[in-house]
Structure 1
């Protein structure tokens, strides 16, 4: 049985200049504006893996990775 694909948003804050493009363009608002304009992710489960933030980031500070599903045998 296939479940919903899950993704993790990794933000390299050493590269990020806090331009705001990522939280402006995110369709699910997974990336939000944090303290002093710093992008933050409070809930990775809302990410749909569209990569719009990753492709739009002028600083190459965002990496979207698919999370492997953990299947537990009952």
Structure 2
């Protein structure tokens, strides 16, 4: 299985309540809370596209887009 390649992290800052669940679940410490207690992708180059942040966010505020997302396989 080919490794997914990150296109971008789509973060809805209006929906993010700053709970930090996505930060805690990220195995590569890609995500951080900023000075406004909202999540940011501080190190996107380290993302392995596991999508744990997307799956665990209780507010659906983060989406991990990969190179495979725009293909109709």
Instruction: Sort the TM-score into its range (normalised by shorter chain).
Output: 0.7 to 0.9
Moved over 3 A (4+): none
Instruction: Give the structure 2 partner of residue 34 of structure 1.
Output: 34
> Structure 1 residue 36: deviation in Å?
3.5
Q: 1:47, 1:25 → 2: CA distance?
A: 12
> Structure 1 residue 3: deviation in Å?
8.5
Structure 1 length normalisation: TM-score? 0.75
Local SS of the residue matching 2:49: coil
Aligned pair count reads 67
> Structure 1 residue 7: deviation in Å?
4.0
Larger CA Rg, structure 1 vs 2: 1
Gaps of at least 5 residues in structure 1 are 69-74
Structure 2 length normalisation: TM-score? 0.76
Residues 24-63 of structure 1 correspond to what in structure 2 (within 5 A)?
A: 24-63=24-63
Q: Answer with 23-32 or 6-15: which moved more.
A: 6-15
> Structure 1 residue 29: deviation in Å?
0.6
Gaps of at least 5 residues in structure 2 are 69-73
Q: Give the root-mean-square deviation of aligned CA atoms.
A: 2.1
